[in-house]
A and B are shown apart, each in its own frame.
Chain A
């Protein structure tokens, strides 16, 4: 990693199109201004890592698997709820008949 020391008002140029300016240094906080072309995305690092992590977790490459998961999921949930519904359901069904 390249390490540079800068003061408030000073800046850094990256390539031909990106300029980073240290706007203000106040205690533990530093305000930074960034000039970059529109197609360069800029993120707060913690947010970027969060999204990359979420995307990597979300990659599933088997369509069949999702179908199985979905139907399995429905059955599992219904089974779980089945127990509490048995009593109430029977009573309700009885009245309806």
Chain B
């Protein structure tokens, strides 16, 4: 993924995110100065107070997208030869950051073709909405700084 995500500019989010229906446009910002940052910011253009920490789900689980039941993506209207990017929202509790989790159940699907982003609920998958990711994040962080 690398730099390419940041270069996509403003992304339309026609349906908003669940619970944030008014957030219809986002930009993606890089978090750290590292060559391959773990986290990025999904910042709402409409509302400066709405921003999420997002990450590539493949950092956390193997073959994330290969394990998504096909039916769960049918509403996304993907074109043939369209390869969406997946991002998952990461929750970092302020009182205990070690309990950080990723929402694998409702990933964000970014279509490079149409420059849109949408949150998809994978209702037929076994993924969970609060998957602990601290150990993975730590090993990536430590590995990168060595």
Contacting pair B50 A59 (CB below 8 A) = yes
**A27 CA to B18 CA, complexed, in Å:** 32
Cβ of B97 within 8 Å of any chain A Cβ, yes or no, is: yes
Cβ of A83 within 8 Å of any chain B Cβ, yes or no, is: no
Residues on A with C-beta less than 8 A from B36 are: none
Residues on A with C-beta less than 8 A from B98 are: 73, 76-77
Contacting pair B77 A38 (CB below 8 A) = yes
Q: Is the interface of A mostly helix, strand, loop or mixed?
A: helix
Mark out the residues of chain A between 7 and 63 whose CB falls within 8 Å of any chain B CB in the assembled complex: 38-39, 41, 43-44, 47-48, 50-61, 63
Q: Which residue of B lies closest to A52 (CB)?
A: B19
Would you list 20 pairs from A and B whose C-beta atoms are within 8 A, ordered by A residue?
A38-B77, A41-B15, A44-B123, A48-B121, A51-B19, A51-B119, A52-B19, A54-B105, A55-B18, A55-B20, A55-B106, A55-B119, A58-B90, A58-B91, A60-B52, A60-B53, A66-B53, A70-B39, A73-B98, A77-B134
Cβ of B87 within 8 Å of any chain A Cβ, yes or no, is: no
Known pairs A38-B75, A59-B52, A60-B53; A43 contacts B138 (CB<8 A) = no
Of all A-B residue pairs in the complex, the 7 with the closest CB atoms, nearest first, are: A52-B19, A58-B91, A51-B106, A73-B97, A54-B129, A55-B19, A69-B97
Contacts A54-B105, A55-B20 supplied; 18 other A-B pairs, CB < 8 Å = A39-B15, A51-B18, A51-B105, A52-B18, A52-B19, A54-B91, A55-B106, A57-B93, A58-B90, A59-B50, A59-B51, A60-B52, A63-B41, A66-B53, A66-B92, A67-B31, A69-B94, A70-B141
